[in-house]
Structures are given as C-alpha cells and as structure tokens.
C-alpha cells in the first residue's frame, strides 16, 4: 500500500501545502520564531483550524536534521469529514447512528486498533479532538491494517461541543468508566449512540462525563484495574453490534 508523505518542513513548502488545502494534522513551530512567512503560516493555521504547538528547537531537530526553518507540518493520511453531515446521511438512510468518540487517546497503537475494530463493526464515524489525540500518520495506517482508509474520521476543535451537538441531534452519550456502577450490557445501545472512551491514565474529562446519559463499566475480575482502551472499545462496540442484530 502506497503511503503518503508523513511530514513536510520549511516555510514555503508548508505555506504551499496549506494553500493547496492538504489535510494537516498539526504544526510544530519553533518557540520565539518571527518572520513574514511564519506570521502567514500562523494566520492560515487559525483560519483553517489547524492545531499549532510552539516547541523548542531540539524537538524540531529530532523530527528532521534538515533545514526546517523553524516549522514542520505533519500531514494526515485521511481527509477529515464533518460529523454532522455523516450523522445526517445515516439518519436519512433509516439507520441508528453509531459514533465512537476518543477523548485523549494519544497512543498510536491504541488508536489504530480502535479504528480497525470500528471499521470491522460498521461504526459510522470515529470522532477525535484536534488536540491531545494520536496523530493519524503512517503508524496509524499500519496498526489499523489499512482500516483508516475505509472509515469516516471526524475532527472537532472542541470535543465537548461536538458531543453536545450530537446529543441535541438525538444521540445518547455513553461514557465508559471503571468508576461507573452500570454494567455496559444493561444499557440499550440499539438507539442512536455515541460511545466515548478516554485515555488510560486520565480517563474521560469531567466536562464530558457530566453530559453523559449513561456511565458504564466493564466488569473486572482480576488484579489489573482496567482494560486497555482498545480492548474496552472492542467490547463496547461489539456489544452494540450484538444488541442491534438481536433487535432485527
């Protein structure tokens, strides 16, 4: 499978990529950098809602030893799609949408594994935040076994705002948490649903927890307190598949 270039560097190539509307995952810009081109890059990044990280020179040099001119753009391997348009199409087709939203999942291998499971199970879209999320680069393609090319991916500037909009559109918000009391299989997942999973270390943000219709837990009987997030996602996604197949 042919891979796209993972990143580009230098002020002019980055500007040209932005002007041609290539899908940029994020920008790394050297702290304290100035100049007309960099100012234009920052302005366009704000216009196109591209995340920017201002980092020390050493971090840029670890990415490439070539003359990066203080700016590196990481390219996404997929085109992001508006989540509201996807949900509209699913409703129009007479189906109950199923969304998987990932809050703070930064490990590329977990991200790839979740995308692979989601694609296999027929999930309608995976929703990611712009910040604090694993990059969708060549490593994600590999760990997803190419599934990332066959599943709509949406990116939100504010995940909590995107979830509020989905809730207003008639989807229930189901958050997975080891602190929850409700077993995951007790919740009706045949209705339009967003399954939300968080980072293994910090979990789902309190703001999103507060808007949840249900908090569910996967029972743990061993000494380890929780499942890997990709395994937890697989359990919840396929429980949704099971319930929906039984309801046909």
Most confident by average pLDDT, 32-46, 56-70, 93-107: 93-107
Superfamily of domain 83-246 in the CATH hierarchy:
SPOUT methyltransferase, trefoil knot domain (3.40.1280.10)
Q: What is the mean pLDDT of residues 16-40?
A: 87
Q: What is the mean pLDDT of residues 189-218?
A: 94
Residue 5: per-residue pLDDT: 54
> From 3.40.718.10, 3.40.50.970, 3.30.1330.30, 2.40.30.10, which CATH number describes the 7-75 domain?
3.30.1330.30
**Residue 3 banded pLDDT, cuts 50, 70, 90:** very low
Contact 207, 185 (CB under 8 A): no
Average the pLDDT over each of 44-48, 100-104, 162-166, 168-172 and give the range with the smallest value.
44-48
**Residue 2 banded pLDDT, cuts 50, 70, 90:** very low
**Residue 68 banded pLDDT, cuts 50, 70, 90:** very high
Q: What is the mean pLDDT of residues 183-203?
A: 94
Q: What is the CA radius of gyration of the chain?
A: 19
pLDDT digits (tens, 9 = 90+) for 125-184: 999 998 889 888 878 888 999 999 999 999 998 999 999 999 999 999 999 998 898 999
Give yes or no for residue 1 having a pLDDT over 50: no
Report how far residue 79's alpha carbon sits from residue 38's, in angstroms, rounded to the nearest whole number: 25
Nearest to 9 by CA among 27, 31, 35, 21: 27
Query: What CA dihedral angle connects 53, 128, 8 and 30, to 10 degrees?
Result: 0
Per domain, the residue ranges of the chain are 7-75, 83-246
**Residue 46 banded pLDDT, cuts 50, 70, 90:** confident
pTM for the whole structure:
0.83
């Amino acid at each position: 499978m042919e891979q796209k270039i993972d990143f580009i560097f230098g002020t002019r190539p980055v500007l040209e990529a932005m002007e041609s509307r290539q899908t940029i995952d994020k920008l790394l810009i050297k702290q304290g950098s100035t100049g007309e081109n960099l100012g234009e890059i920052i302005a366009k990044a704000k216009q196109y809602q591209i995340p920017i990280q201002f980092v020390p020179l050493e971090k840029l040099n670890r990415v490439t030893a070539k003359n990066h001119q203080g700016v590196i753009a990481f390219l996404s391997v997929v085109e992001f799609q508006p989540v509201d348009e996807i949900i509209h199409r699913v409703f129009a087709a007479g189906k109950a949408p199923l969304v998987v939203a990932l809050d703070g999942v930064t490990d590329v291998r977990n991200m790839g594994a979740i995308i692979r499971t989601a694609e296999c199970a027929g999930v309608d879209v995976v929703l990611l935040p712009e910040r604090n999320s694993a990059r969708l680069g060549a490593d994600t393609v590999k760990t997803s076994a190419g599934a990332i090319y066959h599943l709509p991916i949406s990116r939100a500037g504010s995940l909590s705002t995107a979830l509020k909009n989905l809730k207003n559109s008639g989807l229930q918000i189901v958050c997975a948490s080891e602190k929850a009391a409700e077993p995951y299989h007790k919740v009706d997942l045949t209705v339009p649903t967003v399954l939300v999973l968080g980072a293994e270390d910090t979990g789902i943000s309190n703001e999103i927890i507060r808007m949840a219709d249900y908090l569910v837990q996967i029972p743990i009987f061993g000494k380890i307190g929780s499942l890997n997030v990709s395994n937890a996602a697989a359990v919840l996604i396929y429980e949704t598949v099971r319930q929906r197949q039984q309801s046909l």
